[in-house]
Each structure stands twice: as C-alpha cells, then as structure tokens.
Amino acid sequence: MAYLLGVTLLWSFSFSLIGVYLAGQVDSYFAAMTRVALACAVFLPFLRPARVPPQLAAGLTAIGAVQLGLMYVCYYQSFVLISVPEILLFTIFTPIYIALLDDMLARRFSPFPLAMALLAVVGAAMIRYQTPDGNFWSGFFMVQGANLCFALGQVAYRHLMRCDASVSALNAFGWFYIGALLVVVPAWWWLGDPSRPATTPLQWGVLLWLGVVASGIGYFLWNQGARRVSAATLAVMNNLLIPAGLLVNLTLWNRDAELDRLALGGSVMLLALLLSEWRRRRPLRPTVGRTC
C-alpha cells in the first residue's frame, strides 16, 4: 500500500498545477500528448522486447491505450461539457467500477470489496457533493467513460502481471506508454488546437513534471501498488485522491474548501481503507476460482 499512498501524495499536486498553470491556457490534447510522450521517453531505455512475451506486450499496450490514452481523451473532453465541480463529483464512482471489474475478471462475486467501494463513494460525496445544474448528462457519461477506462486498466494490469510474474515490470512497462501514445497522438491531431501549445518556460516546466514524474513514475508505481493490495483497498485508494488534492490546493493556493466536510468525508474513506487492510491481513480460507 506504500506505493499507492506515495502516488496519492504525488498526484494530489497535479490537480492544482493543471488548474492554475495549464487549464484554459494550453490545449488539453497537447498537454495529454506531451505528458504521455515524456513518460514514454522515461521508460523506453528500460524496455527489453526480447524479454517480454508477445502476449504480455500486447496486453500492456492495450491497457495503456485504455487506462491512460482513452481515459485522457474522455476526461479532457468532459471539461467542454460540464463544470469542474461536476467533474470532481462524478469521479467518485471509480471504486465501484474497480470492485465490479475485479470480480468479473476473477469470475466471482465478493460483496466486501463492493461494500468498501460504496463506503469510499459516500465519503467522497460528503466532500465534493454539489447539486449539478444545467444539461449535464453528456458530461456525466463522458466522465464515467474516463472512470471506467482508469478502473479497467488497473484491474486488468493486476490480473495480467499476476499471470506473468516472472517478467520484470520495469523491462515491460514501456509498452504501456506506447499503447497510450497510439491513442493520444491521433486525438491531438484530430481534436486538438495547434494554435495553443505550451509557450512559457513555466508551462513547459509544469508539463515536464507532470510527464516525467506524475504520468511516468506515478503510473508505474501506482500499477505496481495495485498488484500488491486487495481489490477493496485499491477501490478506496482511488477516492483518497479527492481529500488529498483539496488539502494541497487549500494549503498552497488558498482555495476555498469546507474543512468540516473534508474531515468528515476523509474519515469515512479512511475507515473504508482500514477495514480493507484489516480484511486483507486476516487468514483466508482456500477458495476455488480463476486466477489467470
């Protein structure tokens, strides 16, 4: 779980950096493509195609295309349709998708991860709930597409690498970013605005940090952490980003936040996380199910 906590802290800065220095100033598709390209450049030197079975390489490429590529396309498009508070509200459903997808891939039904995912959603709703206004259904479904892509990528990576545990993740993860590039480059070409690239040293510095650290190191460590925790813990950790991001935004940029709701919702999510870890550490009875 240490990987997930570390990346949660890392990603909690990304929301504010994007909102303050990039949003409305740099084309979102250009920003997404640049982040993925920089992350890919970090991991290409470690890529060893000869050591990675073709089936695993294809799987990682597909996961990267979905978890990072399609997720970015859906996520950035949602900003055109609905407001930022509504986007934040609609992201809280990711834990439910993780719990259900993990059970689907394992061909089982486990009520406990789903219950912890729902508890995490309740906690996040306490923090971020605002009554949506206007015609927001198109935006809602676009955000759910992003949530589903991110959840599917995490769960698929857990199961894929469990079946190929002998392969070094560092030598294989470059395929993840190659898959994402196969999506974000055409998306920028068709949907992006070439007249709004990054132009200032500050904007390029933010993109460099987001690409190398947040998207590069961050996604690698997050997916490694996803392999080492239960589905319930992974589901809860996805919504722990909401209070972490709000705390960073409040501390560094003095943005308004309702501290009572933040504390209450954060406590509910922390409870779900502790229950998940307690359940994971209990001795389990042997079960029969599909693992690979």
Cα dihedral sign for 78, 84, 90, 91? Answer: positive
| Cα–Cα dist 22/277, whole Å | 37
Confidence at residue 167, expressed as pLDDT on a 0 to 100 scale? 85
Confidence at residue 283, expressed as pLDDT on a 0 to 100 scale? 52
Quick check: 21 and 206 in contact, CB under 8 A? yes
Confidence at residue 239, expressed as pLDDT on a 0 to 100 scale? 77
pLDDT in tens, the chain (292 residues): 789 999 988 888 887 788 788 878 899 899 999 999 999 999 999 999 999 999 999 999 999 999 999 998 888 777 767 766 566 667 778 888 888 888 887 777 777 767 877 777 777 677 666 665 555 677 778 888 998 999 999 999 988 987 766 789 999 999 999 999 999 999 999 989 999 999 999 999 999 999 999 999 999 999 999 988 887 788 778 877 777 777 776 777 655 556 677 677 767 777 776 776 676 666 544 443 444 5
Confidence at residue 139, expressed as pLDDT on a 0 to 100 scale? 77
Residue given tokens 């719990």 in the structure block: 99
Confidence at residue 19, expressed as pLDDT on a 0 to 100 scale? 76
Quick check: 85 and 221 in contact, CB under 8 A? no
| Cα–Cα dist 41/61, whole Å | 15
State the Cα torsion 263-265-269-274 to the nearest 10°.
Answer: 40
